[in-house]
A and B are shown apart, each in its own frame.
Chain A
Amino acid sequence: MERYYQKEIECASRDQIRAWQDERLVRQVRHVWDNVPYYRAKMEATHVAPDDIRSRDDLYKLPFLSKADLREAYPFGLLAEPLEKCVRIHSTSGTTGKRVVAFYTKEDIDLWDDCCARALAAAGAGPEDVCQVAYGYGLFTGGFGLNGGSQKLGCLTLPMSSGNTDRQLQFMEDLGSTILCCTPSYAAYLAESIHERGLQDKIHLKAGIFGAEAWSEQMRQDIQKSLGIKAYDIYGLTELSGPGVAYECSAQAGMHINEDHFIAEIIDPDTGEVLPEGTQGELVFTSITKQAFPLLRYRTRDICILRHENCPCGRTHIKMCKPMGRSDDMLIVKGVNVFPSQIETVLLEQGYTSNYQIVVDRVNNSDTLDVLVEMTPEHFSDSLAEITQREKSLVAALKAMLGIFAQVHLVSPKSIARSEGKAIRVIDKRKI
């Protein structure tokens, strides 16, 4: 039976959701205008005033915010509440330049915890569950977010943080964890470790919530099979709060966006034009309840599709598909768009592990694409000819998927660094 945390919100009528969004958006725009000079200047530059925003139909009039704005305004430029009202920060793992810092009031954390509690309930969790949170705790939002949601729901919460696999497995066994929250790559690693140690019969997991990394449907199937659980996706960004912006329900087909807190739009990444429902484009969020760090029309860079549908779970909130790639993770190799998720799909189809690394370089003014793949016992043979044959069929499948040649390198098992936080899947050595 479907479980909910706030059923009256999760299953509210579309009219009710619309009414919440209209009212909260108008209030939020006024709050930002009054308290965030950085965004007010953007509005003034585009000749938009708070009075122009009367409902969510007017949302398109507002200027966008991007990660570049967050870096430029670092650290306090987008803060909308006095520091004495703020109780915590989180920060993203920035790859270049300045980090991005997000602020939270007590109420912000309370509402964020609600969002995570909804995600856990949708995964079938309740007060009788033991929830092992193996996301990192710290500036990263994963650990604190799921921890907060788990406590709100009344689960016994194990704040394991990431890493230390021996200890993870020990607690999982001794305390009988039923829910696991971590990155999908770490879930796959834990599953491997459980099998290696023959602990299958001593583990009582029933569901897992795995996010913060791109993962394919094949990887979901593998984790579900290997751990004997249901594996659910969760979506979020530090800029908006953290995990729990959207989450999967029992249908495991798209993630419900918490529309009472976030308004989602899909835009054309090149023109900024809003695209109709069901069209693929860049996902943009407006947070309508956050106090300390209220972002209006924040461009996520995630390529995605939004759909309203009658979900069998009973929830009425709009669904987003698994992001198909990030416009900023997307690699352009020899002029061709390459998403790491495409490579992962091919590897899993051919029976390799999802632990791989992509190395892009430029040699003699020409791009090179190399994929490091871990050898498996099933693909090994005493005969070089047989191994080479399998390698060739992998290269051919990659070529079919990507449209360009990728050089495959077979490496020893476990020689590619496993992520206990986020996986480093791509190394781009090009100096462009």
Chain B
Amino acid sequence: MAIHQISVFLENRAGQLAEITALLAGNGIDLRAINIAETSDYGVLRLIASHEPEACRVLRENGFIFSSGEVVAVGVPDEPGGLNRLLQILAEKQIDVQYMYSIFGQPNGMAYMILRVAAPAEASALLRANDMHLAGAAELGIVSSDQERQE
């Protein structure tokens, strides 16, 4: 099941990030992963929310500018060489990783890598074929929009 990441526009201003975290916290939304990319002028907050549709609703209603897109979540052993194996597979097939961030310290001894690639479905298939451990929404403890649509 696809994992959706939410990307939020961040104005370069003290307190802007705290406004978003307060909003999500106030609506009972937990953050599974978070990453910020910034320039001197503005930034983009990327997050994996425990309840993606709800997070989108809250952000929309509060006038934030954001987008939601599919990413690939891969579990790798939290040990030397764990990440390397994953990246070798992708490099061999010339799959460009636009950016990547991680969730460490999971109780099952895994580290999860969140990958942004141009074609998530293809990358997922390739990784699966190489016995990589792809994490679904349930494993990360999140509710995605796909799930809502199925229900």
> A400-421: which residues lie under 8 A (CB-CB) from chain B?
408-415
CB atoms of B67 and A382 under 8 A apart: yes
> Which residues from B are CB-within-8-Å of A409?
12, 41-42
Q: What CA separation (Å) do A411 and B9 show in the bound complex?
A: 9
CB atoms of B67 and A381 under 8 A apart: yes
CB of B27 closer than 8 Å to a CB of A = no
Q: What CA separation (Å) do A425 and B69 show in the bound complex?
A: 36
Binds A, one of B58-66, B76-84, B132-140: B58-66
Binds B, one of A104-112, A312-320, A383-391: A383-391
CB atoms of A383 and B65 under 8 A apart: no
* Nearest-Cβ distance from residue B144 to partner chain A, whole angstroms: 17
CB atoms of A380 and B41 under 8 A apart: no
CB of B51 closer than 8 Å to a CB of A = no
What residue of chain B has the Cβ atom nearest to residue A391's Cβ?
B41
What residue of chain B has the Cβ atom nearest to residue A384's Cβ?
B37
Q: What CA separation (Å) do A3 and B98 show in the bound complex?
A: 61
* Nearest-Cβ distance from residue B66 to partner chain A, whole angstroms: 7
Q: What CA separation (Å) do A388 and B7 show in the bound complex?
A: 16
> Which residues from A are CB-within-8-Å of B116?
382
CB of B103 closer than 8 Å to a CB of A = no
CB of A376 closer than 8 Å to a CB of B = yes
CB of B39 closer than 8 Å to a CB of A = yes
Q: What CA separation (Å) do A372 and B5 show in the bound complex?
A: 28
CB atoms of B46 and A382 under 8 A apart: yes
CB atoms of A412 and B67 under 8 A apart: no
- Interface size band for A: 10 to 19
CB of A377 closer than 8 Å to a CB of B = yes
Interface residue tally for chain B (C-beta within 8 Å) = 22
Would you give the 0/1 interface string for B26-47, flagging 1 where the beta carbon is closer than 8 Å to chain A? 0000000000011101101010
The one of B5, B63, B67, B98 in contact with A380, judged by C-beta atoms closer than 8 angstroms, is B67
CB atoms of A415 and B42 under 8 A apart: no
CB of A375 closer than 8 Å to a CB of B = yes
Question: Which of B63, B69, B116 counts the most chain A CB atoms within 10 A?
Answer: B63
> Which residues from A are CB-within-8-Å of B63?
412-414
> Which residues from B are CB-within-8-Å of A377?
65, 67
> Which residues from A are CB-within-8-Å of B9?
375, 380, 410, 412
The one of B5, B39, B46, B66 in contact with A388, judged by C-beta atoms closer than 8 angstroms, is B39
CB of B11 closer than 8 Å to a CB of A = yes
Knowing A380-B66, A380-B67, A382-B116, the reply to whether A410 touches B11 (Cβ < 8 A) is: yes
The one of A383, A410, A414 in contact with B41, judged by C-beta atoms closer than 8 angstroms, is A410
Would you give the 0/1 interface string for B85-99, flagging 1 where the beta carbon is closer than 8 Å to chain A? 000000000000010
CB atoms of B39 and A383 under 8 A apart: no
Question: Which of A383, A388, A414 counts the most chain B CB atoms within 10 A?
Answer: A383
CB of B21 closer than 8 Å to a CB of A = no
CB of B16 closer than 8 Å to a CB of A = yes
> Which residues from A are CB-within-8-Å of B64?
412
Question: Which of A376, A409, A412 counts the most chain B CB atoms within 10 A?
Answer: A412
* Nearest-Cβ distance from residue B52 to partner chain A, whole angstroms: 14
CB atoms of B65 and A412 under 8 A apart: yes
CB atoms of B98 and A383 under 8 A apart: yes
The one of A382, A408, A413, A414 in contact with B44, judged by C-beta atoms closer than 8 angstroms, is A382
* Nearest-Cβ distance from residue A248 to partner chain B, whole angstroms: 34
Q: What CA separation (Å) do A382 and B70 show in the bound complex?
A: 11
Q: What CA separation (Å) do A384 and B7 show in the bound complex?
A: 11
CB atoms of A382 and B65 under 8 A apart: no
> A343-401: which residues lie under 8 A (CB-CB) from chain B?
375-377, 380-384, 387-388, 391
CB atoms of B42 and A410 under 8 A apart: yes
CB atoms of B11 and A384 under 8 A apart: no
Question: Which of B12, B13, B44, B46 counts the most chain A CB atoms within 10 A?
Answer: B44
What residue of chain A has the Cβ atom nearest to residue B40's Cβ?
A409
A-B interface, 4 closest residue pairs, ranked by CB to CB distance from nearest: A382-B7, A412-B11, A380-B65, A410-B42
Enumerate 29 A-B pairs (CB-CB under 8 Å) in ascending A order. A375-B11, A375-B42, A375-B65, A377-B65, A380-B9, A380-B66, A380-B67, A381-B67, A382-B44, A382-B46, A382-B69, A383-B98, A384-B38, A384-B39, A384-B44, A391-B41, A408-B41, A409-B12, A409-B41, A409-B42, A410-B11, A410-B41, A411-B13, A412-B16, A412-B63, A412-B64, A412-B65, A413-B65, A414-B63
